[in-house]
Amino acid sequence: MLLDAEDSQLVLVDFQERLMPAMFQGEACIANALKLAQAAQVMRVPVWGTEQNPGKLGSNPPEMKALCRQTLAKMQFSACEEGLVEWLRPEVKTKPAGNARSLPKHLQKPVAAEQVPSSIVLAGVEAHVCLLQTALDLLEDEFDVWVVTDACTSRTERNRDAAYDRLAAAGAELLTTEMVLFEWLRTAEHEHFKQVQALIK
Return the pLDDT at 109.
56
Return the pLDDT at 112.
44
CATH architecture entry for 5-89+121-200: 3-Layer(aba) Sandwich (3.40)
Return the pLDDT at 115.
76
Return the pLDDT at 64.
97
Q: Which of 4, 36, 5 is nearest to 177 (CA)?
A: 36
Model confidence pLDDT, tens digit, residues 129-186: 999 999 999 999 999 999 999 999 999 999 999 999 999 999 999 999 999 999 999 9
Question: CA 163, 69, 142 angle in degrees (round to 5)?
Answer: 45
Structure pTM?
Answer: 0.88
Report the pLDDT averaged over residues 40-54.
Answer: 97
Report the pLDDT averaged over residues 5-31.
Answer: 97
Model confidence pLDDT, tens digit, residues 73-132: 999 999 999 999 999 998 755 455 555 555 666 566 554 446 788 999 999 999 999 999
Helix (H, G, I), strand (E, B) or coil at 73: strand
Residues 6+ apart with CB under 8 A from 132: 163, 166, 167
Residue 121 near residue 8 (C-beta atoms within 8 A): yes
Residue 170: HSE in the Cβ half-sphere, 13 Å Cα cutoff: 24
Return the pLDDT at 91.
74
> Residue 29: pLDDT above 70?
yes
What is 125-146 written as a DSSP string? S-IIIIIHHHHHHHHHTT-EEE
